[in-house]
Structure 1
């Protein structure tokens, strides 16, 4: 299937390609009966449809709704009827009127079961239910799509979106509702494992073990087998707690080691400063997660059971944090996540606390800045195909849409990818003015030169993964002019003015970044709570629960998700340096000449 034929599969792709596919699909329907009246109907429907597509392509969705609606009201027997229903679902989705999108996506399944857009309508239906936070019908629609579709692009989108729902959105009661429904084997396995993990986290030991054992019985070599065995093995009486011992989980080797090192150094600096003024010194037990959720889970179990740590800091990545949080909550071990960006991690259980603002906010912030401040209108996204990547891409789309811009292409890549040529060529064909790359440093320094090689002359945009000296040094001229966002409370001090930056430089001989500051703040909060004298995990949890807010190295620090409302600072790579973009400063996008 060519790129033009596939482009309809994503609701944010250019409508010119949509039109080509819709026109081409007319030949898939049975021939219409002859007769002058029928020809008049088809001619009128075709004219309405063309006007509707023109309106949609111009982002005039209300007018598009009128044209497509007339086709269904007055020309329902025309060959354009199911196309119009599909375009209505897209138009209502673009208008954020999800009830309308649901109604017309459902109508395709009911009134046009042989439509070539049946599967696409299921995807729109599921996405609309997600936007309305109706997660069970959303999951059902994704499951129906996975069960019936043979389109690899749709299947990948459906599986990834359903997995994110299962891991981060669906409550235990909703998972129990879904787990006994007919489902593909891999989906059923994910439902069983995640339900078992969440039941353990909620303190329902027997029920949680039962679901995990059921998973292992049916899928002994499945994707979650190692984690299920670890959770079952962890469900045992707690080890003797060492009240002055803290466990730190971070990827110290592998592709994310820059982040792990920064968190570790921030934690160590905070610990050293605490121990200088407190008689009861704290000690750290540091475990390497390798950036892998299974390794993170096993290392966390070792720190809890063998080392008896009173609390955990980390892991660094959202995927690893989600895995460890279930175990920590089930065992009653307080965990502070300094850097994970999945916004609902702190809802996993009462022992789980989160410091970093979510990636959702970062994407929305840079999307709005690009459209409203930089005047960019046609934007593309190239993101990793993991929970973080899809989350920040989704919020970027929202920020762009609210700023009046359009996403003309979206591509994802697997972790470990080194050749991005296929993604880049697809993006180049859409002729974007800017490309948003919410990647990690090692990914950015590979992607940027390949964009230049394939003649993509577009403004580069990024999230806080770009806030790294490694990006500037290794990216060289290929990252020059890039603009990226970094979370920073408007009310708190910056890293540069908090005093932390100078102390960090004296200790480690290098500049501090936001990741190190978050590690420092996580440990400073934990040390402050331990200074009050709790000697067990429950007492520490209570202290953490009561912690309010204070100025820290990264800004205003709080463990209460509803209190932390970070502002954002925008930076640009200019002449080999990272410089802050001041409020109101005009930023000339790459490729534009000054007037």
Structure 2
């Protein structure tokens, strides 16, 4: 089935069906997990709003599954970006009887939680980018974004061959995401003929990078790559410029955020940030999504909500196509989903649960904004 998102009823206020149909409808819970408090809450709440809007829009079509009206409801849990908390909330969602999972956000929480969801037979559509997430043969893991193996290999080759940066220093935060993307990037740099002259690491709670950067300053790298989130990348770029380090700064999608621009300030100018997916200007359904998002939440969408929206629509579409909300019945239908969504004209999964359409866009910070430089791969 090829579902065109623009045909979904725009008014989210109609999402909760009224009258006799609503009274008779089965309520089907969809689980959601992400960091909703702490340093990474900006990512989780953005992702949560995209999932909620998708549920609102799908409910507005008054879906009938198994011969009976259904109303979908989002059940949210805060995993605090912590692996141990992630497994705790995963079990809580399973015990609560949810029929599918949107989340988690981090690779470090998504991977251990996926063990539980797989044993419970629950499909999980995650923002995790680590290749490990979909590499273990589970039939329940699906991905919302380009994987690190795809993005890292593209970026490593790009900075060496297209940007002519040959001597690269790398820092990561030792999380499953940060270390994973740094490993992929480093391998691609070497394969493209560049040299990784230094690797160092910090953690996802650190704020002082003086020692690491002072050491790297003496090496005078062409570029410094950071694998991790904006809570670290924004003070890192400030410290780089304060120390007089003129190396290019390159980092991933967790820094494509208002926080990086605000905290990084003028020091962030010229930074290179990549993100899986098309720029919003080229996303086929972004204009309509943006209008519905603003009407529903009275703010602009940020980075991850378009992807969680599409992933949620894919999950609900699989239920509709299978004519069942039973995970044992509808999971295999996720493999057949082919959507014209917000982020892509072809949202579909391969046999591992990775996106078949997986472009990467490279942005440069110019005048306090992320300006697209290049997009590699993908359908527009």
2:282 corresponds to 1:282: no
Q: 1:425 aligns with which of 211, 214, 228?
A: 214
Report the Cα offset of residue 518 of structure 1: 1.4
Q: What corresponds to 2:373 in structure 1?
A: 581
Per-residue deviation, 1:246: 0.7
Higher helix proportion, which one?
A: 1
- The 1:367/1:535 distance shift into structure 2, 3 A limit, reads closer
Structure with max Cα Rg: 1
Q: Deviations over 1:417-470 (max 9, x none)?
A: 121122112211211121112221111122111112222111111111221122
Pair 1:518–1:281, CA change in 2 (3 A): same
Q: CA deviation at 1:409?
A: 1.4
Secondary structure of the corresponding residue to residue 160 of structure 2: helix
Q: What's the secondary structure of 1:287's corresponding residue?
A: strand
CA distance in structure 2 between the aligned counterparts of 1:292 and 1:497, rounded to whole angstroms = 31
Equivalent residue, structure 2, for 1:487: 276
Q: 2:209, 2:278 → 1: CA distance?
A: 35
Q: State the Cα distance separating 1:401 from its structure 2 match.
A: 2.2
State the SS of the aligned residue for 1:282: strand
Alignment of 1:225-304 (within 5 A): 244-279=28-63, 280-304=70-94
| Alignment gaps of 5+ in structure 1 | 1-241, 585-595
Distance 1:563 1:518, change over 3 A: closer
Equivalent position of 2:306 in the other structure: 517
Structure of higher RCO (CA pairs closer than 8 Å, 6+ residues apart): 2
SS of residue in 2 equivalent to 1:570: strand
Tell me the distance in 2 between the aligned counterparts of 1:404 and 1:499.
43
Q: Deviations over 1:327-361 (max 9, x none)?
A: 11112222221x10111322442222223221122
Q: Does structure 1 conserve the Cα–Cα contact (< 8 Å) formed by 2:157 and 2:189?
A: yes
Q: Deviations over 1:193-244 (max 9, x none)?
A: xxxxxxxxxxxxxxxxxxxxxxxxxxxxxxxxxxxxxxxxxxxxxxxxx871
Kindly provide the CA deviation profile for residues 161-215 of structure 1, in whole angstroms up to 9, marking residues without a partner as x. Answer: xxxxxxxxxxxxxxxxxxxxxxxxxxxxxxxxxxxxxxxxxxxxxxxxxxxxxxx
Contact 1:243 1:535 in 2 (8 A): no
Report the CA distance shift for 1:496/1:430 in structure 2 as closer, same or farther (over 3 A).
farther
Instruction: State the superposition RMSD in angstroms.
Output: 2.3
Question: Which of 363, 366, 372 is 1:571 aligned to?
Answer: 363
Partners in 1 of 2:148 and 2:252 — Cα distance? 8
Question: Which structure 2 residue ranges, 5 or more long, are not aligned?
Answer: 1-25, 64-69
- Please say if residues 334 and 540 of structure 1, whose CA atoms lie closer than 8 Å, have aligned partners that are also in contact: no
| CA distance in 2: counterparts of 1:580 and 1:329, whole angstroms | 38
Q: Which structure carries more strand by proportion?
A: 2
| 1:2-17 to 2 correspondences below 5 Å | none
Partner of 1:343: 131
| Pairing 1:66-77 to 2, within 5 Å after superposition | none
2:31 alignment partner, SS class: strand
Q: Return the alpha-carbon distance in structure 2 between the equivalents of residues 382 and 496 of structure 1.
A: 36
For residues 315 and 169 of structure 2, the distance between their equivalents in structure 1, rounded to whole angstroms, comes to 41
Q: CA deviation at 1:489?
A: 5.7
When structure 1 is superposed on structure 2, of 363-372 and 503-512 the one drifting more is 503-512
Question: Retained in 2: the 8 A contact 1:495–1:514?
Answer: no
Secondary structure at the residue paired with 2:363?
Answer: strand
Determine the C-alpha separation between the residues in 1 that align with 2:158 and 2:354.
24
Which has the larger displacement, 364-373 or 312-321?
364-373
Matches within 5 A, 1:49-128: none
Q: Is the Cα–Cα contact under 8 Å of residues 418 and 446 in structure 1 kept in the other structure? A: yes
Cα gap change, 1:289/1:282 in structure 2, threshold over 3 Å: closer, same or farther?
same
* 2:184 is equivalent to residue 395 of structure 1: yes
Aligned in 2, Cα 1:368/1:495: closer, same or farther, shift over 3 Å? Answer: farther
The TM-score with structure 1 as length reference comes to 0.54
Indicate if the aligned counterparts of 1:409 and 1:426 stay in contact, CA closer than 8 A.
Answer: no
Deviation string 1:466-499 (CA, Å, 9 cap, x unpaired) is: 2112211221011111111111269x95277553
Check conservation: 1:360, 1:394, Cα contact below 8 A.
Answer: no
Give 1:128-147 correspondences, 5 Å limit.
none
Provide the residue aligned with 1:551 in structure 2: 340
Q: How far is the alpha carbon of 1:283 from its aligned partner?
A: 0.7
Q: How many pairs are equivalent? A: 339
1:440 to 220, 229, 247: 229
Matched, 1:334 2:123: yes
How many Å apart are 1:250 and its aligned residue?
1.0
